[in-house]
A and B are shown apart, each in its own frame.
Chain A
Amino acid sequence: MSSLIVCEDIWKIYRIGDVEVQALRGLSLTIEQGEFVAIMGSSGSGKSTLMNILGCLDQPTRGRYHLNGIEVGDLRPDRLAEIRNQQIGFVFQSFNLIPRTSALENAQLPLFYRGLSLKEQRAQAAAAIQRVGLSGREHHYPTQLSGGQQQRVAIARALVTSPSLLLADEPTGNLDTTSSQEIMGILQGLNREGITVILVTHEADLAAYASREVVIKDGRVLSDRPTKSRSQTVGV
């Protein structure tokens, strides 16, 4: 199986009291290694649910999800944690850095759970910090960094494990235009280096950075098409 992500007829049904909510209704999606995919959709479309399932934070009620050839659907929580640790990097809208903890230590966090020695953790985290252009700020706390810088630390944290998939959930939602462009540029650069990037957004001009645009509506794929080649001209 050469595709990185294969979703086949995925359903996600929540039960809130007596009300049954069908967040995903038979969604199918295939993403190849090295793609830059923007997932768009209005709130309530099911894109957050899809994001959680793709990120192995949640499991589908029905249907199959293969990540790198592994069927994720019925794995135990600890195995899911391992897969997240080894294959997936998360970038969140609200950065989600650990407060009062230095940039370097935030970037170290995933390696911490790999049981690496402190020395190796530091070396790899420092390399990741350098990759996002924050050399010299390793020992700054999140509160001493701008929003854009904080998001770059978060990207370093996502990168540090050399994941096959980077999941960015509205990564620029809390940033000004300049910072947004910087972050998108970094994501684009990483994609060129071979990392598969999935970007969840509701802004069309951000989706333009991607090479493929998937629109979700009512828990299904509404449209799935390549974006114009704007991505080649915009960037850092």
Chain B
Amino acid sequence: MPAFIWLTVMTALRILGRNRLRAGLTMLGIVIGVGAVIAMVSIGEGAKRAVQKQIATMGTNVIIVWPGATTVSGVRGQQGGAVTLTVSDALDLKKKIPLLSDTGWAKRDVMQIVNGNHNWNGTINGVSPSYLTIRDWSFSSGGPFTQADLDSAARVALIGQTVAENLFEPGEEPVGAVIRIKNVPFRVIGVLSPKGQSAQGSDQDDVIFIPFTTAERKVFGTPFLGSVGAVFASTDRADDLPEAVEEIREVVRARHRLQSEQPDDFTIRTQVDIGKVQEGTSHTLTMMLFAIASVSLLVGGIGIMNILLVSVTERTREIGVRMAVGAKRRHILMQFLIEAMTLSLFGGALGIVMGVAGAKLTTIIAGWPTIISSDVIVIAFLFSLVVGLFFGLYPANKAARLNPIDALRYE
């Protein structure tokens, strides 16, 4: 039997080799299908990985609580526009919920920053020291401010990479320099390591951190002392996030004296939620492209079936002769199945080459990240094998069921 299969494969190759154009056109559907699947999945995986990387820059197991949007005569304000969330909410959360490893708070505004004759419009964040650890900020030079700086409302600032580049000459050391924010002098005590783009596409390095107390008393001019833009919390384990979210909801509702029928006056999101939205988008896209590619494979399979049916008709006499000299039904069945699978496997292999090339080209030309996983290649190859087997079965069976007498007499 192995000798038979080997020889049948050789025969199939020779038969296909005789009709190269026909074989090539027949394979085209499979080539495009497999190529498209591999290219699409590679691009999808690349996008997913990029999003995951961005999500990771938020910190580890982060929960964010925003004040609920204010409603003025039915007109919804900006999210975080309300002043219902306070520093004492954040402190109380940490005290009451042991699951939380830390809580921090922040408030932001866009303001002009001046250093000598350079100026820059950047986002000023008044934050607690704990915020910096929750969000995993590290330093390329200098270091963070401390609880003492917060307590004394010290005029110290940490600046992001983008801000540093715009306020200082290349090679100039920002740490120790004095910059002015809304005419208030601040000493730069740290430059943050770059984080790059956020999942939403904004520049995370265009940022300045100053102690929260300094921000609300000396820079922002807050009407309600202690109101924050957002509360941040983190847990040690990712699995604890859902439970922590529920506990936070309960504590904040109790603190805000909300009746059970009243809706939350705040919004809670976890890093996982934000990741899901992003991944959901790319997942939908991947599935759609996958569907298109599958249709192409289906069409390719039908093409193979069509050409094999033609081949069975053309070679009816040959089938008759083979049967007369002793070919059993399964021999004929195998012969045509092997031809179908040879076509689809060649198409699959060519498709893999095209798909990988397509993915690489996408990275080179469009600059999109792509990840070619060996899983996809194996699956695509197996899939093309299955397509060949499935669509070869009908013509092969038709050939195997021929009556040798009729087949021999066929003109």
Contacts and interface: CB of A to CB of B under 8 A. Distances in A.
A84 B324 contact: yes
A109 B322 contact: yes
B100 to A, nearest CB: 74
B82 interface: no
A55 B318 contact: no
Given A100-B18, A113-B327, A92 B7 contact: no
A96 B321 contact: yes
Nearest to A106: B321
Given A52-B405, A57-B404, A96-B408, A109 B325 contact: yes
B325 A110 contact: yes
Which of A52, A81, A82, A84 has the largest count of B CB atoms less than 10 A from its CB? A81
Interface in B297-354: 317-318, 320-331
A104 to B, nearest CB: 13
Given A57-B405, A96-B317, A81 B7 contact: no
Which of B6, B325, B408 has the largest count of A CB atoms less than 10 A from its CB? B325
B3 interface: yes
Given A57-B404, A78-B329, A109 B321 contact: yes
A236 B330 CA distance: 42
Consensus secondary structure, chain B interface:
helix
B1 interface: yes
A96 B18 CA distance: 19
A58 B328 CA distance: 14
Which of A58, A78, A112 has the largest count of B CB atoms less than 10 A from its CB? A112
Given A52-B405, A57-B405, A112-B4, A96 B326 contact: no
B326 A84 contact: yes
Interface residues of A, number: 29
A160 B153 CA distance: 104
Interface in A45-96: 52, 55, 57-58, 77-78, 81-82, 84-86, 90, 92, 96
Contacts of A97: 321
Contacts, number: 65
B326 A85 contact: yes
Contacts of B329: 77-78, 81
Interface string A90-128: 101000111110000000011011111110000000000
A99 B318 CA distance: 8
A110 B326 contact: yes
Contacts of A115: 1, 3-4
B336 to A, nearest CB: 15
Given A57-B404, A113-B331, A117-B3, A85 B18 contact: no
A98 B321 CA distance: 8
A152 interface: no
Contact of B327 (A81, A86, A157, A161): A81
B7 to A, nearest CB: 6
A86 B324 contact: no
Given A96-B320, A118-B7, A113 B408 contact: no
B328 A81 contact: yes
Contacts of B324: 55, 57, 84, 90, 96
Interface of B: 1, 3-4, 6-7, 18, 317-318, 320-331, 404-405, 408
Interface of A: 52, 55, 57-58, 77-78, 81-82, 84-86, 90, 92, 96-100, 109-110, 112-118, 157, 161
14 contacts: A77-B328, A81-B323, A81-B326, A81-B329, A82-B328, A85-B325, A96-B317, A112-B4, A112-B7, A113-B322, A115-B1, A115-B3, A118-B7, A157-B325
Given A58-B405, A110-B326, 12 more contacts: A57-B324, A57-B405, A77-B328, A81-B329, A86-B326, A96-B324, A96-B408, A100-B18, A112-B7, A113-B4, A113-B331, A118-B3
